Structure 1
Amino acid sequence: MEQKVRINIRIFGIFVLLALLITSMASVVMAQDGAVNENDVSLIAAFRSIQPTSDDSDIDLIVTNHSSERRVARFEFKGIPEGWDIQVWQRYFSYRLNVLALEPLGSPNEGNKQEPRLRITPPADSQAGEYRFSLEVLSEDGKVKFDQADFTVSLPERTPVETGNVEVSTTFPYLQGPTASRFEFEIAIKNKTGADASFDLSAASPLNWTVQFLPAYGDERLISSVAPIDNATQRVKVRVTPARFAEAGTYSIPVTVSNETYDTEIGLQVQITGQGELSMDTVATVLSFDATAGEASQIDLVIGNVGTDELTNVTMLAAAPDGWVVSFDKESFPSVGVADFQPVAALITPDKDAIPGDYIVSIIARSPDDLREASLRITVSQSTIWGWLGIVIVIAVLGGLGGLFWRLGRR
């Protein structure tokens, strides 16, 4: 008996050891599932080798989380040349980034992907040659290196600085689009006066046009002056909004950068291509109408073109409840000119069995360039013929019953 007890104790001990071993292995596997891996995050740079043509350069980056867990990526630079300012910036707002939070793979709106911008600014007195540095993407604790990008910056020989003026330039001085567009130029203002200076910004624009100046990066605040230091370049965004009904054509927007001593002008041009715009309303300028079930009602409409270019192939459509019939006396127009208005009669026939109440009928005018929709509220009532017919039937029934009682009373 004592020997059996010992055997049972040994067997129980073996089971306990196996259970502990399985538990520890499961813990290790679970820990490994959430562990940070060097392949979790990747870094893509639009360019790895550049030759700047201005005081600073931007390179677009894409940082992507490929894991099923949320990851925090930290940026670290290696080998930055002395005196250089190299930082990772948020692409649309003016602040620097040291870390990025990346949502898991498959998150809504591609939350696992971020697109910051690398900004490289060499010192003003840097010598010509090739300069190299690296950008590393690390885990939050810095123990895992996810990815690395190596960059080469080739600086050309600097031309002697001409002092005594302010230089204004732009890469794209000519933009085109329809009237509804908002045109944005970017100008570079270089201070070559030989000293730090402040310059006022102004522009001459056509009547009812708007010209605004904003910082080239991030901020949406409006500015009216800039203050670049000596031999530095400052970029400014020039936002041009045309007049609502500006005619098609080319318009000049001269921009002036000046102070009490210096005055420089650059010419910008906007070409308005013209765009048709549909309008639609009822002749009565109301959207509520009465109708009778099973009977056609006419609603007079007016469609027009309030844009700056001709509209072609304008068609009339309708969406109505089941059993309703909607037709137009003119179902299409080959063209509608600028400031041209055309009458259209819509015939709306509710279903003969329609229950009295309010219904919505959508009238649509459509062209390849634009679409307009008007929602009409139709209040339906039953035909009065049925009311009179009901009265006649009631009178006939009462008359028949009266005649029957009279005949029975005579007997």
Structure 2
Amino acid sequence: MNGNSFRKMLAAGGVLAAVCAGSALTAYAAGGLDMHTDYPGMTAKAGENVTVNLEFDNSGAGCDAALSVQSMPEGWDGYISGGGNRISQIHVPSGTNTATASFQVEIPADTADGTYQVVLAARASDSVNDTLTLTLDVNELEVSQGDFSSEYPEQEGTAGTSFSFNGTLINNSAQEQSYSLSAEAPDGWQVSFKPSGETTQVASIQLEPGASQGLTIGVTPSNNVAAGEYTIACSAISGNEKLSMDLSVTVTEKYDLLLSTPDGRLSFDARANAESDVTLSVTNNSNVAIQNVNLTSTSPTDWNVSFDTPTIEQIDAGATVEVTAHVTPSKQALTGDYVVTMSAGSSQVSDSAEFRVAVKTSMVWGVVAVAVIAALLAGIGSMFRRYGRR
């Protein structure tokens, strides 16, 4: 081989080596080992734990690579894990995505806003190694914070009203989240959550990234609720965040009075010109106390009706007060049924009840009437005997 031919072979070999070397450096790091992640730049908040999934490629022979955190901000805590354990070494077979691991880092709660870097290293030998730089933007306010709100969070109604609120739950994060729904309400109240337009109650909602869900929130106060303003604290809690919303219900005054008897009977027996006692029950079904409840009556002519407590000073909400009515029919009353109307009322509300009174006359007068009739018949008979023959 002459000198010119040898120089040409060296030149060709140099070009080929340069091309191959350039191609290898473009696809892989030193020695063909490549450590990478799909999201090397992330946003996080102070106090958060961040997990980064790592993948490894190897264009050479399979190797064992030592893993380490080459650099990390002071005060941060991080480690590499695989198979549920912390690891310091990983076997990377030849090929693409042949090994995986995870990097967990805890950002201190007092970390100031800013951009921070973490450098990870994978090293099989001096010639087979790679590094990966992670960039974390720390913000005091989490940009992925969701929202739980209602356009009209305040409503008003009387006791016995069921309230319905329209709410919206928004997942502003970059990942799917499952929100558990709950509410804190006064004792005896009922709160339900239903997806808008549906009839089925739910306890949780699954939302895709950036998705929102309308909710119908039903609030039913207890039966004996007093007038006033009440707050219902609603929460939507996922593994990453807690969203809250306060609903306000104002229960207005409702007046309802019932006049009856303890056993519900609205009839009794009485005798002419004799007093009969009837026990009345006055029940306040309002959600507020009622003051100065007056008892009155309407009865037939010459009857007398009085009450042992003509005026009840106060009946608390939900309470019952008993009053005795004294009823005396007229002495001229004949045997039969009569109607006596009794009423209980205040300046806000009233109620009345009609009582059927079965009046019976005295047995003495019945005996006298029989005796008089008998005497008349005897007198007529005597006259016929004395004057009948004439």
Structure 1's 387 and 354: CA in aligned 2 closer, same or farther, altered over 3 A? Answer: closer
Q: Determine which of 235, 248, 271 is the counterpart of 1:269.
A: 248
384 and 204 in structure 1: CA distance in 2 versus 1, 3 angstrom threshold: same
2:218 aligned partner:
239
What are structure 2's unaligned runs of at least 5 residues? 1-141
CA displacement, residues 353-375 of structure 1 (integer Å, 9 cap, x when unaligned): 66635x66553323354444444
Q: Matched residue of 1:192: which SS?
A: coil
Query: 1:18 is matched with which residue?
Result: none
CA deviations on 1:207-259 (whole Å, 9 max, x unpaired) are: 22211223444x55433333455434322222222223334444332111123
Q: 1:377 to 1:229 in 2, by over 3 A?
A: farther
2:374 corresponds in structure 1 to 395
Distance 1:174 1:387 in 2: 72
Letter in 1 for 2:238: N
Once the two structures are superposed, the pairs formed by residues 9-408 of structure 1 within 5 Å of their partners are 164-195=144-175, 197-217=177-197, 219-273=198-252, 275-282=254-261, 286-292=265-271, 297-318=276-297, 327-329=305-307, 332-333=311-312, 335-338=314-317, 339=319, 341=321, 343-345=323-325, 347=327, 349=329, 356-357=336-337, 361-405=340-384, 407=386
Contact 2:344 2:350 in 1 (8 A): yes
C-alpha displacement of 1:295: 5.9
Map Cα deviations across residues 112-167 of structure 1 (whole Å, 9 max, x no partner).
Answer: xxxxxxxxxxxxxxxxxxxxxxxxxxxxxxxxxxxxxxxxxxxxxxxxxx863321
1:393 shift after superposition: 1.7
**Cα contact 1:275–1:310 (8 A) shared by 2:** no
Give aligned pairs, total: 247
Amino acid in the other structure paired with 2:181: L
Give the Cα separation in 2 of the matches to 1:222 and 1:367: 43
CA distance in 1, matches of 2:372, 2:246: 86
The AA in structure 1 aligned to 2:203 is: S
Aligned residue identity for 1:400: G
* Structure 1 residue matching 2:192: 3-state secondary structure: strand
Give the match's secondary structure for 1:404: helix
Larger CA deviation: 196-205 vs 390-399? 196-205
DSSP 3-state at the match of 1:256: strand
* Corresponding letter in the other structure for 1:210: Q
AA at the equivalent of 1:245: N
Q: Which amino acid aligns with 1:231?
A: G
- Look up the SS of the partner of 1:395 in the other structure: helix
Write the distance in 1 (CA, Å) between the matches of 2:174 and 2:379: 115
1:169 deviates by 1.0
Give 1:351 deviation, angstroms: 10
1:206 partner letter: P
CA distance in 1, matches of 2:245, 2:292: 42
1:135 aligns to what?
Answer: none
Q: CA 1:325–1:409 in 2, change beyond 3 Å: closer, same or farther? A: closer
Report deviation, 1:310.
2.1
| Structure 1 residue 269 displacement after superposition | 3.0
Question: Residue 404 of structure 1 aligns to which amino acid in structure 2?
Answer: M
**3-state DSSP class of the match of 2:288?**
coil
CA deviations on 1:58-98 (whole Å, 9 max, x unpaired) are xxxxxxxxxxxxxxxxxxxxxxxxxxxxxxxxxxxxxxxxx
